[in-house]
Structure 1
């Protein structure tokens, strides 16, 4: 009797295992068919291999092969200046390595604008676009936005000074916006965004055109320059701004009346004596 019970138990366990296997096989086939159907409905995404950073890279670091890796990137969303060829990124077996000019995070693509040319050191020359020049402006705690400036920020430059009056006008002091949206490329002697702390700078370096260099140099030597920080998301263009003491205090300037002095008419006479009487006779005046 016990033997028959054991046989029935074994047969039951076998049938249960078979049923579980069949159910699992059915579920797997169903999931596979469902995945194939979804793939057939979704458009295929074309991928391209590009180099990204495998470790954090800071300003001035050398770019070495162990700092990068190849990953697949959607072809439709490739950034400008990406690299996929090691022979181009590391020319001549990286004998003259590139340097980092902008911080790169892990997994971020290696882009042309964030590295130097082979053998070129990280410096101000790499931050200047074609036709631009670097110009240093003296600042203090008041004119330098209390040490909150960073390389890459944009500022408006204001000039404060005195101008000698023209004919029939007095000299006046006023403040005027002379350059708008100028980009900072260095604070004191540092061009690294991460390396600049919140200290008050003595000089800031801006990237400007040659004609702007002349204007800033003249303004710096003839008055005081102040900087106003522009917001990162601000794309507005500042209009012409000029404020003097009268405008600041709401005082209307009185117009000066110019009184022309009239030249008195000259009268010329000659005196003649007629007996005991002296008579003056008018005659034309000579020069």
Structure 2
């Protein structure tokens, strides 16, 4: 009898222990699942090396390896025209003349783009800002025609011509949205000093430059500054003095008179007749 009681007791303890163990396992599994659910999921982001300015870079500065540093950018946020290889950006260093020059001021940490620096071996002169097929042309200006000194490289302007057409003075819009690449001898697009320029240099194709040469030699050119995002093309505009004053031109047309000639004796007489036209 005692052995039966002892056996039952042992089995009861084993069953109770097994139940406690299973309960603990279930509880641990629940805690683990709950912790995983509350833990933020870290998403893997693809990165790419992009070179940025290590210090402030001013216009005209030759770019060296000490001026740049590598930063990891998310692949989806890599700026277009950026540099991911140091040799592509600053060259091999074997040629002392093989370098890029800064075209516009850059702040520390700003990504270096191909539009902000010259090609390898070029300086920051006006020729480095000319696109394929474009030429530089200088226009004489003064405080009035040059928008009171508010023009800067990179701005776009409309060009008006004032001169004599037949017997009257005419003002006409001749060109839309010409880009300025230099003011006097300054091509730095980041300059913020207001000066009254004597010349502005524009980028244009050869046909447009021929038109500017003709316009500048036959009259006076005046510039009108465009807004930064204004890409509109204005219609043909031509204003005369009479248009300005609101006067209508009156054309006098002489009445046409037709005659025939007849001889009466020694006299020749002209007789009016209706014109046949």
TM-score, structure 1 length as denominator?
Answer: 0.75
Cα gap change, 1:45 to 1:225, in 2 (>3 Å): same
Cα gap change, 1:137 to 1:72, in 2 (>3 Å): same
Aligned to 1:5: none
Q: 1:182 aligns with which of 172, 178, 181?
A: 178
Cα gap change, 1:257 to 1:56, in 2 (>3 Å): same
Q: Cα deviation per residue 1:34-59 (whole Å; 9 max; x = unaligned)?
A: 774332xxx54321111000111111
Q: Please tell me whether residue 136 in structure 1 is matched to residue 138 in structure 2.
A: yes
Cα gap change, 1:100 to 1:86, in 2 (>3 Å): same
**Structure 1: runs of 5 or more not aligned:** 1-28, 165-170, 272-279, 283-287
Q: Please tell me whether residue 206 in structure 1 is matched to residue 206 in structure 2.
A: no
Aligned to 2:88: 88
Aligned to 1:111: 113
Supply the distance in 2 between the matched residues of 1:163 and 1:123 (Cα, whole angstroms).
39
Supply the distance in 1 between the matched residues of 2:40 and 2:92 (Cα, whole angstroms).
48
State the secondary structure of the residue aligned to 2:231: coil
Aligned to 1:241: 237
After superposition, the CA RMSD in angstroms is 2.4
Aligned to 2:247: 251
TM-score, structure 2 length as denominator?
Answer: 0.78
State the number of aligned residues. Answer: 235
Aligned to 2:40: 37
**Structure 2: runs of 5 or more not aligned:** 1-31, 270-277
Aligned to 2:275: none
Q: Please tell me whether residue 222 in structure 1 is matched to residue 224 in structure 2.
A: no
Supply the distance in 2 between the matched residues of 1:229 and 1:193 (Cα, whole angstroms).
15
Supply the distance in 1 between the matched residues of 2:257 and 2:187 (Cα, whole angstroms).
64
Cα gap change, 1:82 to 1:138, in 2 (>3 Å): same
Contact 1:187 1:196 in 2 (8 A): no
State the secondary structure of the residue aligned to 2:225: strand
Report deviation, 1:110.
1.2
Q: Cα deviation per residue 1:76-122 (whole Å; 9 max; x = unaligned)?
A: 12222211111222222263221111222211111111111222111
Aligned to 1:153: 155
Aligned to 1:3: none
Aligned to 1:59: 59
Contact 2:104 2:190 in 1 (8 A): no
Contact 2:152 2:191 in 1 (8 A): no
Q: Cα deviation per residue 1:198-235 (whole Å; 9 max; x = unaligned)?
A: 11100000001110001111000000000000011223
Report deviation, 1:267.
2.1
